[in-house]
Structure 1
Amino acid sequence: MATKGEVIRCKAAVAWGPGKPLAIEEVEVAPPKAHEVRIKVVATGVCHTDWEYLYASGKGMTYRPFPLILGHEAAGIVESVGPEVTQFSPGDKVIPLFLPYCGECERCRSAKTNLCRKNWENTQAGVLADGTSRISHQGQQIYQFLGVSSFCQYTVVPDTSLAKIRSDAPLDKVCLLGCGVPTGYGAAVKTAQVEKDSSCAVFGLGAVGLAAVMGCKTAEAKRIIGVDVNPDKFERAAQLGATDCVNPRDYNEPIQEVLQKMTDGGVDYALECVGSPAVMTAALEATTEAWGTCVIAGWTETEVMDVKVIKILMGRTLKGTYFGGWKSAIDVPKLVDDYMNKKLKLDELITHNLPLDQINAAFDLLKSGKSIRSVISLQVDT
């Protein structure tokens, strides 16, 4: 493209400090360096994790450096590649990844995990491999959230943190495969390995939880109970496979006791998709003794979960999952194929489509529970 090797000036939603609304600014995006790819971001989902790092920084979330460009669930087109990049070319459709896949380390070679650590410490700190960001504003470095920063019309990511996808995929839909949907769906089908005719409870019916419901249905679970304090989400959950939906606020007893009674002793699988230690405890205690499995998919970094040892001693399994257990760069293209082949639903999770200059409205919709996923169009004049 004509912009190869040049600094690109474009619009971005910048977080100048924790707790402050995002500001639309003109930023400069530098060309990619070795093993880096610059992409034109077409669409990005607004994930609850983005909200948490802005408004709950230093509470349940580890403090990130500011100024910061959030966003990590996106899809776009390769604009240019840096030296030594061999797997991507300008024009490729891609999904940037907050979880890398180098394909060479012990973890990438193992079938037991997807937790590659290539450039991990740097991207967690908001910079790329050389310790700096590729995005700046009037000479000031802007940190890149998880090494991605998709609330920007262009961004630069490591070539190990990028998935090439099929050319006919709609970017404003498959952007959801950058975070929420793989996390919830994989929590059910990969990490929990939900079995046919089993009983499941999904705690939290946001995008991650609804994806977990879809995963339970794909695994042919007999009973899928959705749990949420917002009953407005129940109809959508039922459409995606939930057989029952319950609101903890409708009961005087703890929700885990309600679920135990509903299932004659507890569910076979519980999937926690909220990120609350109290909900995590409830999810574990909602499982049946002897073989119940609880998978934590909700995100919190600094809080402590309360676990009664007897709950584990009686045969329950407590597991965590990151990005649903998928090996990012090789599994995301397969998930795109599943969507294109109508095996995986994404459209049903998108409740709002907004331009970049309405990013704060998207946060408000998310926090109020009025949206499942808002998709931001980056290439609209703001």
Structure 2
Amino acid sequence: METEGKVIKCKAAVAWEPGKPFSIEEVEVAPPKAHEVRIKIVASGVCHTDWTFLHEVGKTMNPQPFPVILGHEGAGVVESVGPGVTKMSKGDKVIPLVVPQCGQCERCLSPKTNLCTKNWEMNQKCLLADGTSRITCKNQQIYQFIGVSTFSEYTVVPEDNVTKIHPDAPLDKVCLLGCGVSTGYGAAVNTGKVESGSTCAVFGLGAVGLAAVMGCKAAGASRIIAVDINPDKSEIAKTFGATEFVNPKEHSQPIQEVLRKLTNGGVDFSLECVGNVGVMRSAVEACTPAGGVCVMVGWTRMGELTLVSEDILLGKTLKGSYFGGWKSAEAVPKLVQDYMSGKLLLDEFVTHRLTLDQVNQAFELMITGKSIRTVINM
């Protein structure tokens, strides 16, 4: 049945309030407006940021809107486009982008950042450019997480928040490039600029951390120390390039002291991929004072990071990384090509495949450490 220009009724996982399980509902997805694209989502990864949003909301100074459809690591096919869309057309395979790239704003024109300003404020409020969403349920507006919402069989996103990819790309694999893998890999190669022959430590071995390990290896690091409290992550980390594994629970000393002893004074590069301010401080203190670089990758709004000023004054550098520093619309198709040519691992991240009806189970697997990435097949 032709759906272009019509409201589409489909299934979505709706979070009606913070901290509660998702409810699978029938939602209505309106046609795209000007410079918007409606996408049939084929697959979506389950990212820890979704869980953080759901469970940290209400505990921070900036509570987020509900009800909301989460999910931001998806891939699908363009169902229809709104007026003025020129970058893609019906039938194209695409990946929605949590970071837009308009190509025209001051930040897009700068080599120093990937944080495009187009629709940024509205996306952070879980709305589209006009201050509304395209999804309703039970006659109520449903907010769209970061303007995306991939836990829905259909979604509508701004044209600058989606990129066209190779027509042969397997959507149930490359969906991971919508967030986790791109974020960790880019944090190492783009933000940290890990150097050949260097020593690195990666804190937290979820998908983002394992991708950071992969990035350190790609950059030529000679020693990559993977750090996690889950002993099951030891062999998995080696698959992605780790040379050593350290479990903080197996040591009586703080992990930063353990790492400094292992490396004769500290690592050259440390990457925090947990989203915990205590771990962030450990990552800073694990760096060598002689030019060590620490990259913050994990996302959280809980707690304040406190540092000893001497750590920075003696020559360490502290950086933040959002979506791995990639210029999203132009970089993601290249990352897809790298995967298809064997330069980038993706299959190895996927430990579970579930349906949309099983989305709550997917989150349980993640928070209990039983999965790396679960892919939801729509």
- What is the TM-score when the length of structure 1 is the normalising length? 0.98
Q: Give the deviation of 1:58 after TM superposition.
A: 2.7
Q: Give the deviation of 1:290 after TM superposition.
A: 1.6
Go from structure 1 to structure 2 and tell me whether the alpha carbon gap of 1:239 and 1:355 turns closer, same or farther (over 3 Å shift). Answer: same
RMSD of aligned residue pairs (Cα, Å): 0.9
What is residue 275 of structure 2 aligned with on the other side?
275
Q: Is 1:20 equivalent to 2:17 in the alignment?
A: no
Q: Give the deviation of 1:336 after TM superposition.
A: 0.4
CA contact (8 A) 2:56 2:302 kept: no
What is residue 67 of structure 2 aligned with on the other side?
67
Residue aligned with 1:173, SS? helix
Q: Give the deviation of 1:59 after TM superposition.
A: 2.9
What is residue 36 of structure 1 aligned with on the other side?
36
Work out the CA distance in 2 between the residues paired with 1:112 and 1:53.
28
Please show how residues 212-291 of structure 1 align to structure 2 within 5 Å.
212-291=212-291
CA contact (8 A) 2:256 2:282 kept: yes
Residue aligned with 1:109, SS? coil
What is residue 328 of structure 1 aligned with on the other side?
328
Go from structure 1 to structure 2 and tell me whether the alpha carbon gap of 1:61 and 1:201 turns closer, same or farther (over 3 Å shift). Answer: farther
Work out the CA distance in 1 between the residues paired with 2:290 and 2:270.
14
CA contact (8 A) 1:182 1:324 kept: yes
Letter matched to residue 170 of structure 1: P
Please show how residues 71-86 of structure 1 align to structure 2 within 5 Å.
71-86=71-86
Residue aligned with 1:209, SS? helix
Q: Give the deviation of 1:62 after TM superposition.
A: 4.0
Q: Is 1:349 equivalent to 2:345 in the alignment?
A: no
Work out the CA distance in 2 between the residues paired with 1:342 and 1:68.
37
What is residue 173 of structure 2 aligned with on the other side?
173
Work out the CA distance in 1 between the residues paired with 2:227 and 2:175.
26
Write out per-residue CA displacement over residues 290-330 of structure 1, whole angstroms, 9 at most, x where no aligned residue: 21000000001352101100000110000000000000011
What is residue 100 of structure 1 aligned with on the other side?
100
Q: Give the deviation of 1:152 after TM superposition.
A: 0.2
Please show how residues 287-366 of structure 1 align to structure 2 within 5 Å.
287-366=287-366
Go from structure 1 to structure 2 and tell me whether the alpha carbon gap of 1:58 and 1:269 turns closer, same or farther (over 3 Å shift). Answer: same
Letter matched to residue 178 of structure 1: G
Residue aligned with 1:107, SS? coil
What is residue 88 of structure 2 aligned with on the other side?
88
Go from structure 1 to structure 2 and tell me whether the alpha carbon gap of 1:348 and 1:61 turns closer, same or farther (over 3 Å shift). Answer: farther
CA contact (8 A) 1:53 1:61 kept: no
Letter matched to residue 102 of structure 1: C
Residue aligned with 1:106, SS? coil
Letter matched to residue 305 of structure 1: L
Write out per-residue CA displacement over residues 14-73 of structure 1, whole angstroms, 9 at most, x where no aligned residue: 001001100000000000000000000000000001011112213368421111000000
Please show how residues 131-210 of structure 1 align to structure 2 within 5 Å.
131-210=131-210
CA contact (8 A) 2:202 2:225 kept: yes
In structure 1, stretches of 5+ residues that fail to align are: none
Go from structure 1 to structure 2 and tell me whether the alpha carbon gap of 1:90 and 1:189 turns closer, same or farther (over 3 Å shift). Answer: same
Work out the CA distance in 2 between the residues paired with 1:351 and 1:217.
22
Work out the CA distance in 1 between the residues paired with 2:160 and 2:91.
18
Work out the CA distance in 2 between the residues paired with 1:151 and 1:133.
15
Residue aligned with 2:108, SS? helix
In structure 2, stretches of 5+ residues that fail to align are: none
Go from structure 1 to structure 2 and tell me whether the alpha carbon gap of 1:235 and 1:62 turns closer, same or farther (over 3 Å shift). Answer: farther
Work out the CA distance in 1 between the residues paired with 2:98 and 2:218.
26
- Which stretch of the first structure deviates more once superposed, 219-228 or 61-70? 61-70
Work out the CA distance in 2 between the residues paired with 1:96 and 1:195.
31
Letter matched to residue 184 of structure 1: G
Write out per-residue CA displacement over residues 213-264 of structure 1, whole angstroms, 9 at most, x where no aligned residue: 0000001100000000001111110111000000001011000000000000
Letter matched to residue 104 of structure 2: E
Letter matched to residue 30 of structure 1: A
Residue aligned with 2:156, SS? strand
Residue aligned with 1:334, SS? helix
Work out the CA distance in 1 between the residues paired with 2:131 and 2:302.
25
Residue aligned with 1:253, SS? coil
Letter matched to residue 337 of structure 1: Q
Q: Give the deviation of 1:348 after TM superposition.
A: 0.3
Work out the CA distance in 1 between the residues paired with 2:348 and 2:334.
19
